[in-house]
A and B are shown apart, each in its own frame.
Chain A
Amino acid sequence: MAKAGLKSALDQYRGRNIRLEKQRKKEKEARKRKEAKAAKLGEDGVSIEEEKEEVKSAQTNGVTKKAQKASKPEKKNKKEEKKAAPVEQVGEDWETEESEEGSEDDGVDFSRLEDSDSEAEFDDDEDEEDDDEEGDEEDEDIPLSDIESLASEDREDVIPFQRLTINNTTALTAALNRISLPYSKLTFSEYQTITSDEPVEIEDVEDDLNRELAFYKQSLSAVKDARAKLTAEGVPFSRPVDYFAEMVKSDEHMGKIKQKLVDEAAGKKAAAEARKQRDLKKFGKQVQVAKLQERAKEKRETLEKINTLKRKRQGAEVTNTQEDDLFDVELDKATTAPSNDRQKPNHKRAKKDHKYGFGGKKRHAKSNDAFSTSDTRGPGKPKGKGGAAKQRPGKSRRTKR
């Protein structure tokens, strides 16, 4: 026991992982076994193929057989036969995927699982040989649509339906002869059937307009031919104007259709009108916005001018020496000019607004806030008034001027 422990410690020291090595070995063995088996089955498959050829040739024309077969991924024998049938390609794809999985998987207990798998596969393959004998000829005529569905990523779920082409032409022609009218003995007016000269070619069935146009053209040419033939036979073709009879669509129905058409037209007209109106409105709005902006700009400019003027006036009072400050004609002119068209500020109104409230709340105006509490000045000296009081000169100075 101790010896084993020592050995394992040594291994660990050397960085060997015995378990992993064992797995690798087993995997290798399994793979070898698989390949050998595949080769064997490949030979078998060839012989089976020959048998099938015989069977197929023996089969008669109209055999009804519907084969429903799951495309089993593990078709070992198929791998060897390099046929163009796409199911096998799919099978090969699977094959590679599987092997990749095996090589990628360095999972620990996987090798044991794989071992049992490969044993199971032996049985599977034998079963499939039996299957193949029935299903192989269908492999060749899988419709293209099925291949596409197989090629998608969820092939595992798809169980392809493979129908045998049944087209028993002799039986079909016999049936046709049994039921067909004696056209050579009948006049055209008896059956009124026209077959177009050349087949209608439609490139894209999804393209509604061109498709319908093709149908229309086919019918139109048929109508022309038929009319010529019928008039030649003297059969009344066009309905006289005064011939009234029950129609396929009742008057009520036609009225409904007409109403619908009228409604549609009216709706279109209304929509166009509405759009026009909307555009007009949008444009009008733009004009209005532009006007407002212009007005705001004007206002700003005048205010600026007023402010500059005020500042200058104040500066003039202090210094009162410069000539152009005394006679600031240009500025005065600039301020007076725009104020003409604008409303004069109503001082009375402003005062009242201030007193009774206009714009913004007046509550809590006198309550303390963070700034006022941190104010260290004593009470009784309102901060607001100080500056203004200083501005006003004393009586003597005032009278002196």
Chain B
Amino acid sequence: MAAVYKTLSSATKEEKPTEGRRNKQRVLILSSRGVTYRHRHLLQDLASLMPHSRKEAKLDTKTKLYQLNELAELYNCNNVLFFEARKGKDLYAWVSKPPNGPTVKFHLQNIHTMEELNFIGNCLKGSRPILSFDAAFEKQAHLRVIKELFTQIFGVPKTARRVKPFVDHVMGFTIADGKIWVRVYQISESEPGKKKTGEDAEAEPAPKKKSKGKTELDVELVEIGPRFVMTPIVIQESSFGGPIIYENKEFVSPNQIRSDLRKAKASKYNRRTEAALENKLKRGDLGLNTHGGRKKEKDPLSDSVLFA
């Protein structure tokens, strides 16, 4: 009898891990040197939303990024979210899956941290988010890769150490204008009778109910922050190395944009100086200058010629 029980129990035990296979993720979050306070706050915000993350000290180098692989291994992390600041203004994010997963490099723009946004939404520290992806993520191969990476990095695994029960926030990833827009909302549920309470927060009309359960609560979202926009630049095959398997053609580096602006400004001056020079030469050729240029031809009918 005992043997029967044992076999039964072992069978169930064996079945358990297969049906509930664990999704184990740990993320190493760190930045390079030269981040501004805003970049730092963004990093903090993200770290506070991700209980499965490990924050590390700033990385000294910006060129030898393969060091991050070792660092991740050291901290038992299988994901790396590395923020690289350049020129004290541009922020790039490297999203990678060491030891041999792909690496995606993003350019981050329109960064607004929780601190400065003053949204009234709030959520438990360490609760697990729902990740909401745009359908456009399924359309292209590189976006599918990005979606998978985000799912693993921003999605909090059930088994993370500091995780709290309940689901009270949602992270939205939407593709618009070739960029990925990220938003974080609190899920606030209220009785369907008194849905006027939270309306002033987002000012959107309350959604109509679909009869799903018996005591269905109305769902409303209140934004928490932070907000940012990511532009994918490059995907590398391995972690911080390897061949480039995707490159965004439409991405224009902020340096290029700035230099174009400067040049546009400079060209105005150049054109004007050129015109001035040309004008001077022309005048010289016509013999109108007192110094240099060509001498004016003598008028054969002038007094000095006629009465020489």
Contacts and interface: CB of A to CB of B under 8 A. Distances in A.
Contacts of A190: 20-23, 157-158
Contact of B135 (A164, A199, A239): A199
Q: Report the interface size class on chain A.
A: 35 or more
B124 A167 contact: no
B101 A179 contact: yes
B258 interface: no
Contact of A219 (B101, B136, B138, B221): B221
B246 A218 contact: no
Given A158-B260, A163-B247, A172-B245, A238 B217 contact: yes
B187 A223 contact: yes
A145 B176 contact: no
B276 interface: no
Contacts of A235: 167
Nearest to B114: A249
Given A145-B250, A158-B260, A195-B138, A171 B245 contact: yes
A380 interface: no
Contact of A215 (B148, B172, B247, B300): B172
Given A108-B294, A223-B130, A165 B249 contact: yes
Contacts of B124: 239, 245-248
A162 B44 CA distance: 37
Interface in A175-215: 175-176, 178-182, 185-187, 189-200, 202, 205, 211-215
Contacts of A197: 135
Interface in B182-221: 183, 185, 187, 189, 202, 204, 207, 210, 212-213, 217, 219, 221
A176 B131 contact: no
Interface in B261-281: 263-264, 266-267, 271, 281
A171 B237 contact: yes
B123 to A, nearest CB: 5
B8 interface: no
B150 to A, nearest CB: 9
A231 B166 CA distance: 11
A129 B158 CA distance: 62
Given A163-B249, A182-B21, A175 B101 contact: yes
Q: Report the interface size class on chain B.
A: 35 or more
A248 B48 contact: yes
- Which 5 A-B pairs give the minimum distances between C-beta atoms? A222-B132, A172-B141, A154-B267, A171-B245, A166-B247
13 contacts: A145-B250, A158-B260, A167-B141, A172-B246, A175-B245, A176-B148, A182-B21, A190-B157, A222-B130, A223-B187, A237-B167, A245-B164, A249-B224
Interface of B: 18-23, 45, 48-49, 97, 100-102, 114-115, 118-120, 122-139, 141-142, 144-145, 147-149, 151-152, 155, 157-158, 164-168, 170, 172, 174-177, 181, 183, 185, 187, 189, 202, 204, 207, 210, 212-213, 217, 219, 221, 224, 235, 237, 243-247, 249-250, 252, 256, 260, 263-264, 266-267, 271, 281-282, 285, 294, 300
Interface of A: 9, 12, 62, 64, 107-109, 141, 143, 145, 149, 152-154, 156-158, 161, 163-169, 171-173, 175-176, 178-182, 185-187, 189-200, 202, 205, 211-216, 218-224, 226-228, 230-231, 235-239, 243, 245-249, 253-254, 257-258, 260-261
